[in-house]
């Protein structure tokens, strides 16, 4: 199998001195779905921000064999679809259509292709009738679903999702999970939703205090009750 993400000895401190990542190592293979669990402040979001070069620790992240650095940035960003935790950060255009079209337009696609991408992406999150709606009038859950559509329209090879099921109602949470398990794109999902991780991920990483405390198959991780207890996940 092909290694699609390779993180080696990654450490990162925020400009104010907070050490958020401490010697993180992680390899993800094509088609994997990796769940990242861990308490608040463990460094999950910080780790995800390294996957498309928004943060740059010490150039030790490789995506599809390419080092994440200044000169590979545009290629990497078209491969990695990152969805932020807060949908008000993700949705910055006046209408839903403009937002979902933002990525494809930046990838220099023609009008017809952009329309097709937008329709497809909105369809897969069950939001087709919302095309002309204005983003700030939407409910939080609706914003979350559109946020996912904004990267699906770019046809990424890797989906990186930060807390995607937060505030979704049970019906849409279930549909969301169904949609994610149906796509065979490589996925990295940071979440507190243990049931979701259990049902769609095949591998689980546990983060605590900036490092990876454990990384194994889902079965092995959830079997190990002592480990889960140690990191307040059980």
Partner 1 sequence: MQHSYIDKYAGLDSFLHGLDPRAKVIVSFIFIFAVVLSNPTAYLSFALYGLALLILLAVSKVPSSFVFKKTLIVIPFVALVALSIPFMKGKDGLALFTGILIKSYLSIFCMTMLTSTTKFPRLLKAMERMKVPSIFIMIMSFMYRYLFVLIDEFHRMQRARDSRSLGRVGRWDTVKVLSNIIGVLFVRSYERAERVYLSMCSRGFNGEIKTLD
Ligand X SMILES: Nc1ncnc2c1ncn2[C@@H]1O[C@H](COP(=O)(O)OP(=O)(O)OP(=O)(O)O)[C@@H](O)[C@H]1O
Nearer to partner 1 (CB atom), residue 54 or residue 230: 54
> Structure tokens of 215?
């990384």
Return the residue of 11, 13, 45, 155 that touches Mg ion, per CB under 5 A.
45
Q: Tell me the closest approach of the beta carbon of residue 95 to partner 1, in angstroms.
A: 5
Under rule CB under 8 A, residue 219 binds partner 1: no
Work out whether 90 is an interface residue with partner 1 (CB under 8 A): yes
Rounded to whole angstroms, the Cα distance separating 187 from 30 reads 9
Sorted by sequence, the CB contacts under 8 Å of residue 148 that are 6+ apart come out as 83, 125, 161, 164, 176
The alpha-helical segments, DSSP class H, found in the chain are: 44-50, 73-79, 87-90, 96-106, 111-124, 140-152, 170-182, 194-200, 218-223, 225-230
Residue numbers at the binding site for ligand X (CB under 6 A): 14, 16, 18, 20, 38, 40-46
**Can you name the residues that pair with 212 across neighbouring β-strands?**
207
The interface with partner 1 within residues 131-190 (CB under 8 A) comprises 134-137, 150-151, 154
Rounded to a whole number of angstroms, the minimum distance from the CB of residue 163 to ligand X is 6
Q: Is 13 in the site for partner 1 (CB under 8 A)?
A: no
Token pair for 212: 């990876």
Rounded to the nearest 10°, the torsion over CA 110, 159, 25, 68 is: 10
User: Binds 164, which of partner 1, Mg ion, ligand X, none (CB < 5 to 8 A, cut-off by type)?
Assistant: none
Residues of this chain that bind partner 1 (CB under 8 A): 49, 52, 54, 74, 77-78, 80, 82, 84, 86, 88-95, 98, 101-103, 105-108, 111, 114, 134-137, 150-151, 154
């Amino acid at each position: 199998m092909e290694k699609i993400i390779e993180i080696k000895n990654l450490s990162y401190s925020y400009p104010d001195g907070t050490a958020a990542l401490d010697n993180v190592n992680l390899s993800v293979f094509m088609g994997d779905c990796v769940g990242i669990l861990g308490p608040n402040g463990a460094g999950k979001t910080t780790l995800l921000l390294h996957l498309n070069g928004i943060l740059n620790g010490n150039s030790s992240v490789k995506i599809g064999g390419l080092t994440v650095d200044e000169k590979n940035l545009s290629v990497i960003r078209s491969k990695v679809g990152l969805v932020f935790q807060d949908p008000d950060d993700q949705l910055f255009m006046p209408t839903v259509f403009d937002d979902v079209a933002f990525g494809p337009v930046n990838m220099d696609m023609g009008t017809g292709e952009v329309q097709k991408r937008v329709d497809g992406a909105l369809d897969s999150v069950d939001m087709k009738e919302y095309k002309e709606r204005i983003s700030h009038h939407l409910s939080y859950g609706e914003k979350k679903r559109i946020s996912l559509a904004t990267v699906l329209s770019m046809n990424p090879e890797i989906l990186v999702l930060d807390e995607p099921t937060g505030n979704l109602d049970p019906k849409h949470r279930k549909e969301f999970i169904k949609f994610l398990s149906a796509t065979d794109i490589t996925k990295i999902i940071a979440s507190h939703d243990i049931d979701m991780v259990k049902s769609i991920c095949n591998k689980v990483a546990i983060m605590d205090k900036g490092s990876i405390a454990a990384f194994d198959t889902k079965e092995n991780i959830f079997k190990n009750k002592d480990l889960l207890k140690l990191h307040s996940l059980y």
